[in-house]
Amino acid sequence: MTSEPIRKIIKYFAGFAGVGGIVTLISLIGIYIFIELFQFPLLITYIGIYSATILLSYLLNSLLVFKSSLNTKKGIKYIGIYLSGMILGVAVLWIFEKILPFDDYILAYAVIPITMIWNFVLSYLLFKPSSVC
């Protein structure tokens, strides 16, 4: 039988994954619109969409998933978490590329669960709901 703290962590993780799915969909649509329809340059589009979706992710995760107030200090830490996740993803991708015989897109997909767990754990510690654990 699952204990109450574990259930709450699973609930937070499910919410975090749901927000991640929504933000990813918005990101994909935004990239398509800015690159294909408005002919924006790739790097400007990537940086702009990535920045906007991190901020949207912070807003949604803070208010809806972790029920935490918004503040600048946590927002900056949240951005740092995602940047560290990106660095971790690049490192893992480099290792996977050296040791696994798969196509690049498969390797990129293989990194997603690792960075998602990294981002969740650090975000959870940042927002640390007092009612769990």
Supply φ then ψ for residue 103, to 5 degrees. -65, 155
Q: What is the pLDDT of residue 130?
A: 65
Any idea what DSSP says for residue 34?
A: I
Q: Could you identify the residue written with the tokens 């329809």? A: 37
Q: Considering Cα of 22, then 111, then 33, then 75, what sign does the dihedral take?
A: positive
pLDDT in tens, 34-76: 988 999 888 888 888 988 999 999 999 999 999 999 999 999 9
The structure tokens listed for 133 are 């654990």
Q: What share of the chain is helix, strand, coil (3-state, %, to 5)?
A: 85, 0, 15
Instruction: Compute the distance between CA of residue 88 and CA of residue 121 in angstroms, rounded to an integer.
Output: 14
Give pLDDT tens digits for 87-114. Answer: 998 899 999 999 999 888 788 888 889 9
Does 131 have pLDDT greater than 70? no
* Residue 6 neighbours by CB under 8 Å, 6+ apart: none
